[in-house]
Structure 1
Amino acid sequence: MSTTAPSLVGRTVDRRYVVRGHIADGGMGSVYVALDQRLDREVALKIMRADLARDEAFVERFRREARSAARLNHPNVVAVTDQGQDKNHVFLAMELVRGRTLRDVIRDDAPLPLRQSLDIVDGILQALSAAHRAGLVHRDIKPENVIIGDSGVKVADFGLARAVTTETLTTDNDVLLGTAAYLSPEQVEFGRADERSDVYSTGLLLFELLTGEKAFPGDVPIHVAYQHVHGSMPIASDAVPTVPPQIDELIARATSRNPEDRPENATAFLQELRHTRTLLDPDAMDTAPAAAVAVAGDPNRTDPLGAGSTRQLRRAELPVVEAPPRRRRNRLVLMVLAVIVVLGALGGWLFTAGPLGSVTMPRVVGMSQSAATTRVHHAGLGTRIEQIFSENIPVGTVVSTSPKAGGSARRDSDAVLRISKGPLRFTVPSVVLRPQADATAAIKAAGLSLGSVTQAYSDTVPSGQVISTDPAAGTSQKPGTAVDVVVSKGKQPIAIPNVTNQTKAAAQTTLTGLGLNVSFAADQNSSTVPSGEVISESPGQGGTAYKGDTITLTISKGPVMVTVPKVIGDSSSAAKKALEAAGFKVKVNYPLLIPVLFVVQGQSVSGGSQAPQGSTITIDVV
């Protein structure tokens, strides 16, 4: 129980946070709604228990872990905004998320439909993936640390479990911390936790969402912890028949007692979960689940094993029993001896030929499922089948076992046979004509990775959208395969060449060869450009066009032709005037050097013939 008094409401912490209301109490302290006066926003303020705040080692670890958690920036992670200490109050300021804890959801609504359950676990795994990539292990994944709000799934309290002790289990005093119902076997047995421990706890949450039950229920934490190490994981479909076998397999792999048999981290688990979703019937994912089997006791309340509410997993002191009266002592001794003999014989049978006796696991790796099952049954063990992906082992063949070959197991207990489903393959999604950012997200969501991104011109695909992928859409690839993407730069620009003074045919050939269309304006007379050649182009030389654009050409009809007047016999002045009036230039030539009559005796272009307007006519004057 929290030792933080509700009287904090109305007080100001660290001269910054005005406590407005009380939200909840937990194993480490109490959570309040507070106003951050500096930024004028509401935050969730977690005040640590007074006994933890007095522990200098805890405070130092808390500061270190809070700094690590603050580096996480992900939409599925409750952001840490500040941490500090105000006198005897050690606090953590976090993003305030309005919504319900996953415990509330399970209590009120479980068992949930398959789609809703997978969506929630998908959000949890996205948060854990970000943490694992940053080198952080949560260590205390449980419904109380998951919030379902308007913005989706949020995971809180990253790093706080590690802040309480340097390990989740403190081997010096054998005190178990965390929440018994969700601790991994290695946390209980050895006090160690890594990314696979978070995978284990998340698998238990998926089981609970689908069934409404804890996988390992109980009122006594030591009993719950014992089940994690020695018990068998229940099958969700036994409680809720509508749970598909693929989900049973997914949960079994995530919650394997041996960490080596689980997905190596949250990212790997997320990829397996999303692949499994593709194998399910979409119409059945929203079907209301069948009623879960009732469990004795209250399954909705977890039993935190932290300081202040912990159960000590250590040898308890034996109670003092008063000695029996002397006259009955001999009879009591005989009865005790008889019981000891009977128990000894019973124990000998139990641990040899009886159900608690040990047998050796035979070697069956590489055998077919039927042959391996037969051999294991002959050895005195039952079998439980798990289907897993394998790159190298043929379909239907044993990949690994638990226990391993040569290991011992209790007689009649179940040995796990992991049978190959063949290699895990993901389908390359179709992302052509999608923006680059959307294509990248789709490729990663499909369990693949983004390879090289190159750009190319395209006449049909708009700029910024995907032209093609390699491997192509629809092909099956290994997890994490790099998919190369070609992104459009739009149409390729074309520099308009100079085609003036080229013939009409040559100019048209030049432009169409560049992918441009050609149109023609009305022909025009030109005194400088020969007939049939290009006078001008629009757009002109030096401009930019794109394939399919149109260039307009104006073709020359040559100069304007005019009839030359006949001026022989006319005076020089009259001849010059007549020729200039007709649009010609006039050059006067004096063959006798000194003119006498000033009469035109000859002209360079005969009268009545045609000559270009503006050309020069030479007249001879004598």
Structure 2
Amino acid sequence: MSTQRGPILSVGGHGVLRSMELREPLGRGTMGTVYLARVHSSAPPGTPSKIAVRVLSSRFHRDPAFMSRFYADATAAGRLQHPNLVRVLDVAEVSGRHCLAMELVEGETLDKLLARAGKLAEPSLIAIGLAVGGALRTAWLQQRLLHHNIRTQNIFMAAGNVVKLADIGLARSVTNEAGHPLPHAPVSDPHYTAPELTMGARAQDCQGDIYALGATLYHLAAGRKPFVEHTGPKVFLQQREGWLPWVKELNPALSPGFCAIVEKMLGRDPQDRYIGYEALVADLKTLSEGGRPSAAVIEPGRSVMTRSKQPPPTAAPPVATPKKRPPTTRPPAIAAARVEAAEKPAKSHHHPAWMTTPVVIGAWVMVFVLIILCILAYAHRTFKQRQLDEEAFYSVHQRQIEDAADAAAVRKLADADDYAKRNPNDVAGIVDRYERVGEFYFSTTAGHTAQEEAKKWRAKLPKQ
């Protein structure tokens, strides 16, 4: 892959992308494909011999607003220096494709680590929280960068147990925004999305990222995603109205201090969370040193994580023994009064005449009708809200759905091609396989190719 002639936009003038050669792909995502690249000796001093290069999908090229934000964010991220951030080395247009050069992290993501471990111990959780919280604090304070997609898949455990937060260069900067959401901006996983962002609102500060980090720590501590039992738009509704189990119930080894920190990070209202990363990092550091977090205070019921079972107190209060009352003799006057009251006939409970008038009956009917109308209105509102949730979910995640369909179609087409090579005489079987791929994945490029192949092979079938 050779670089184009002419000026190249690069971070700090490094020009790393001028001296690299793409090798094998490392992964494919919503934004494009990430490749392993080798850097030539002509690269600037200090450049690693191997880097990761994200080649942006060509569909983004048609959106000038997104491309402008992409270069602005990547350039801002390139100015960041933090040991727990995956460094952005360069951003440039190479052979007509827009590329982002990044530090190559040799390690594994936390979701893979969690798949083996099940749950992480508290010292590891605190270390991850300190590392990611510190990295996000630097990005926010220095460049006003937000991440928007904090989750276990974007956090690496590198060699030497060094935590690295990836994709900060793909975040949207909240400075220089015209106030309009960009259609191709990176999307977040709904299981980590703050309640106020589930309706399509744009994040104005770091509160959404603090919530996402809290949801990530909850996932790592509990061994399961928040609201993992729900999928699609139902997760959005749960973030706004649902409740998570107290994390200590899922991991009894956790300390009350750590649980309190996560509880505050998961405040349903942004004002109930940490006001910034300074207080969060300070509490985590205090906890790591054996102290008690001071800022981790939130009113009961204000967090998405509910204390369904309160932790037992360290010492039970002494139980007071009630004193026995000596038996008393009832005074004769009181006894006589009680007998007299018992001998009086019971009063009749007939309703007054005014309660059965047509006006009163009509009023009760109107109240009943109003109650029914309120119930129907609430049910209609709930139904419409769920419709909006579904529309918002599929609007935000349309690219992910399309990418998944494209990848599946390519695999199925490859299977059909392989069968055709191994069984060239089974024309009917080959046609059947290509037709199934074409029918099921009709909206993809691979599906169209399968339809064309089915036509070619169908022509070879014997005439009936």
Please give the secondary structure, in 2, of the residue aligned with 1:234.
Answer: coil
**2:32 equivalent among 29, 52, 70:** 29
- The whole-number CA distance in structure 2 between the counterparts of 1:119 and 1:174 is 33
Shift of 1:220: 3.4
Equivalent position to 2:263, from 249, 252, 255: 252
Structure with the largest fraction of strand: 1
Q: Specify whether residues 27 and 170 from structure 1 end up closer, same or farther in structure 2 by C-alpha distance, changes over 3 A only.
A: farther
Alignment of 1:529-568 (within 5 A): none
User: Would you say 1:154 and 2:167 are equivalent positions?
Assistant: no
Write the distance in 2 (CA, Å) between the matches of 1:219 and 1:154: 29
1:122 aligned residue: 130
Query: Offset at 1:26?
Result: 1.6
Q: Is the 8 A contact 1:132 1:266 kept in 2?
A: no
Look up the equivalent residue of 1:180 and give its one-letter code.
P
Query: TM-score when scaled to structure 2?
Result: 0.55
State the Cα deviation string for residues 385-423 of structure 1 (Å, max 9, x = none): xxxxxxxxxxxxxxxxxxxxxxxxxxxxxxxxxxxxxxx
Amino acid at match of 1:124: V
Residue 153 of structure 1 aligns to which amino acid in structure 2? V
Alpha carbons 1:233, 1:252 under 8 Å: kept: no
Tell me by how many angstroms 1:132 deviates: 2.0
Query: Equivalents in 2 of 1:64, 1:150: separation in Å?
Result: 30
Report the Cα distance in structure 2 between the residues aligned to 1:127 and 1:69, rounded to whole angstroms: 11
CA contact (8 A) 2:145 2:172 kept: no
The question of 1:145 aligning with 2:154 is answered: yes
Aligned residues: 284
Q: Is the 8 A contact 1:62 1:160 kept in 2?
A: yes
Paired amino acid for 1:155: L
Residue 226 of structure 1 pairs with residue 237 of structure 2: yes
Q: CA deviation at 1:92?
A: 0.3
Match of 1:422 in 2: none
Q: Residue 148 of structure 1 aligns to a residue in which SS?
A: strand
Which of these residues, 168, 182, 185, is aligned with residue 192 of structure 2? 182
Q: Following the alignment from structure 1 to structure 2, what is the Cα–Cα distance between the partners of residues 350 and 238?
A: 38
Compared CA separation, residues 96 and 254, structure 1 to 2 (3 A): same
Tell me, in whole angstroms, the C-alpha distance in 2 between the residues paired with 1:17 and 1:174. Answer: 27
Matched residue, 2:94: 86
Name the one with the larger helix percent.
2
Stretches of structure 2 that go unaligned for 5 or more consecutive residues are 5-17, 293-367, 383-464
Pair 1:202 & 2:213 matched: yes
Q: Is the 8 A contact 1:69 1:159 kept in 2?
A: yes
Tell me, yes or no, if the aligned pair for 2:3 and 2:95 is still in contact at 8 Å: no
Query: Cα deviation per residue 1:103-140 (whole Å; 9 max; x = unaligned)?
Result: 21122223111111211221111211211221222222
Q: Which residue of 2 aligns with 1:107?
A: 115
TM-score by length of 1: 0.42
- How far has the Cα of 1:203 moved from its partner? 0.7
Q: 1:13 to 1:347 in 2, by over 3 A?
A: farther
2:228 alignment counterpart: 217
How far apart, in 1, do the equivalents of 2:129 and 2:110 lie?
11
Shift of 1:255: 1.1
- Asked whether the 8 Å contact 1:47–1:92 carries over to 2, the reply is yes
Distance 1:201 1:193, change over 3 A: farther
1:50 CA displacement: 1.7
1:318-357: CA deviation from partner (whole Å, max 9, x where unpaired):
xxxxxxxxxxxxxxxxxxxxxxx99x849629969xxx9x
Structure 1 vs Structure 2: percent identity of aligned residues?
A: 28
Seen in structure 2, the aligned counterparts of structure 1 residues 12 and 198 have a Cα distance that, compared at 3 Å, is: same
Q: Which amino acid aligns with 1:177?
A: V
1:431-580 to 2 correspondences below 5 Å: none
Q: Contact 1:97 / 1:147 at 8 angstroms: preserved in 2?
A: yes
Partner residue, 2:443 = none
Q: What is the identity, as a one-letter code, of the residue corresponding to 2:24?
A: G
In structure 1, the gaps of 5 or more residues are: 1-10, 282-340, 357-622
Matching residue of 2:19: 16
RMSD: 3.5
SS of the equivalent of 1:207 reads: helix
- 1:265 and 2:271 correspond: no
Amino acid at match of 1:242: A
1:186/1:272 Cα in 2 relative to 1: closer, same or farther (>3 Å)? same
Moved over 4 A (4+): 12-15, 163-167, 169-176, 349-352
TM-superposed CA distance for 1:250, in Å, is 0.9
What residue in structure 1 maps to residue 65 of structure 2?
57
What's the secondary structure of 2:33's corresponding residue?
A: strand
Change (3 A) 1:218 1:29: farther
Partner of 1:348: 375
CA distance in 2, matches of 1:242, 1:255: 20
CA distance in 2, matches of 1:170, 1:102: 33
Change (3 A) 1:115 1:175: closer
Describe the shift of the 1:63–1:172 C-alpha distance in structure 2 as closer, same or farther (beyond 3 A).
closer
Instruction: Give the distance between the partners of 2:101 and 2:134, measured in 1 at CA.
Output: 22
Secondary structure of the residue that 1:30 maps to in structure 2? strand
SS in 1 for 2:156: strand
Where relative contact order (Cα < 8 A, 6+ residues apart) is larger, the structure is 2
Flag the 1:172–1:82 CA change in 2: closer, same or farther, 3 A.
closer
SS of equivalent to 1:162: coil
**Residues 418-437 of structure 1: pairs in structure 2 closer than 5 A:** none
Partners of 1:264 and 1:81 in 2: CA distance: 31
Closer, same or farther in 2 for the Cα pair 1:175/1:140, shift >3 Å?
A: closer
Q: Against the structure 1 CA distance between its residues 174 and 228, is the aligned structure 2 distance closer, same or farther, given a 3 Å change threshold?
A: farther
Q: Which runs of structure 2 are paired with 1:357-368 in the superposition (5 Å)? A: none
Secondary structure at 1:217's aligned position in 2?
A: coil
Cα offsets for 1:474-520 (capped at 9, x unmatched):
xxxxxxxxxxxxxxxxxxxxxxxxxxxxxxxxxxxxxxxxxxxxxxx
How much does 1:218 deviate?
A: 5.1
Secondary structure at the aligned position of 2:168 is classed as coil
Matched residue SS, 2:23: strand
* Distance in 2 between residues matched to 1:170 and 1:217, nearest whole Å: 31
Aligned partner of 2:190: which letter? A
Q: Helix, strand or coil: the match of 1:198? A: helix
SS at match of 1:192: coil
CA contact (8 A) 2:65 2:182 kept: no
